[in-house]
Structure 1
Amino acid sequence: MKRLILMRHAKSDWSGSGQDHDRPLNPRGRRSAGAMGDWLREQGLLPDEVLSSSSMRTRETLVRLNLPEETPTTFTRDLYLAPHHDILRTLRRATGKTVLMLGHNPGIGWFAREIVAHAPDHPQFDQYPTCATLVAEFDIDDWRDADWGKADARHFVVPREL
């Protein structure tokens, strides 16, 4: 059994004039990421591996989740604004039992819809808003066997519900 925690980065700050890759979180995003980290701990859903986009907003989201420092983490440009098929390719290289992936829309939302056998009954699942998080389980022994429609959705939560 493998578990995927699929999270879109928290709300970012659009007030700066720098590069998109370098945008930080805004105050609401910082609060949302902290609340999502609390929720993950309360549910006993701490990852043993993190695969994250290299962007500033995904990095800051991860910091605000307040996961154990020893959690192996890979930051990759491959997940920055990645389409769904690139996200799957990255997931298939994972080694942990419970993997947290942090990325961006529209790819992360598209990936979430395609990876589960049945979409969660949640009014915001199709929009996959900032810091939205899907927890899905696969009946596989190796991430190389992850494929479209093979995951069972266990939770879908957005920060406003926390």
Structure 2
Amino acid sequence: MKILGIFRHAKSDWNDARLRDFDRPLNARGRKGAAVMGLHIRDNAVGWKRVLASPAVRVTQTLELACEAAGETPPITWDRRIYLANSATLIDVLREQPDDAGSIIMVGHNPGLEDLIFDLVPDDGTSPLRDIVEEKLPTAAYAVLELDIDHWADLREGCARITHLVRPRDLDPDLGPDFAR
């Protein structure tokens, strides 16, 4: 069995229209959300052996703040293929990983991460956590999937079950949706 963590970047800032999408930083709510989620990830430790992340600014800032809050900085592999990747590309990246990494956390973007969950976790009506993801995988959400595989190269659709899902608003109501904006 392998363990896959999925961590979506925190809320980004859209105020500077001159910035490329890749260069958008976090906004104040995103910075707070990243720190809150960093503590949660640490306190619900899986013992992540590898972090694979998009090098986009909002992802690098999310990880920086989450690691600072958690007091831990694991080694991170920055992979540009994760930036705005679809599920098929994310699966390809995961299939390349060495088997000594029994647990990997991937940090990136939607809709790719959300679609990755949909592809790996069967829609068989038995997963209330998958149902929540179907509503939306919001910024800074964190999920854990158990994969019924022994080798990353064997990753395939329908091989997982989602065992943990936390959104920032689950930990701090101030980090929930703001419908006034």
TM category (shorter chain) comes to over 0.9
Partner of 2:4: 4
The Cα offsets for residues 97-117 of structure 1, whole Å up to 9 and x where unpaired, read as 111101111111111111113
Partner of 1:131: 140
**Stretches of 4+ moved more than 4 A in 1?**
none
Cα distance in 1 for partners of 2:168, 2:46 equals: 16
Would you say the 8 A contact 1:7–1:131 is kept in 2? yes
Of the two, which has the highest radius of gyration?
Answer: 2
Provide TM-score, normalisation by structure 1: 0.92
Q: 1:161 aligns with which of 151, 170, 179?
A: 170
Between the two proteins, what is the percent identity of the paired residues? Answer: 38
5+ residue gaps, structure 1, are none
Cα distance in 1 for partners of 2:79, 2:54 equals: 5
Deviation at 1:64, TM superposition (A): 1.4
Cα distance in 1 for partners of 2:127, 2:113 equals: 15
SS in 1 for 2:133: coil
Structure number having the greater helix percentage: 2
Q: 1:141 aligns with which of 146, 150, 165?
A: 150
Partner of 2:108: 103
Cα distance in 1 for partners of 2:12, 2:85 equals: 17
Deviation at 1:138, TM superposition (A): 1.2
Deviation at 1:18, TM superposition (A): 0.9
Is the alpha carbon distance of 1:92 and 1:134 closer, same or farther for their aligned partners in structure 2, counting shifts above 3 Å? same
Is the alpha carbon distance of 1:31 and 1:104 closer, same or farther for their aligned partners in structure 2, counting shifts above 3 Å? same
Letter in 2 for 1:8: R
Cα distance in 2 for partners of 1:128, 1:18 equals: 24
Would you say the 8 A contact 1:10–1:58 is kept in 2? yes
Partner of 1:121: 128
Q: 1:87 aligns with which of 80, 86, 90?
A: 90
SS in 2 for 1:111: helix
Deviation at 1:94, TM superposition (A): 2.1
The Cα offsets for residues 130-162 of structure 1, whole Å up to 9 and x where unpaired, read as 111110011322111111110111011111001
Cα distance in 1 for partners of 2:32, 2:97 equals: 28
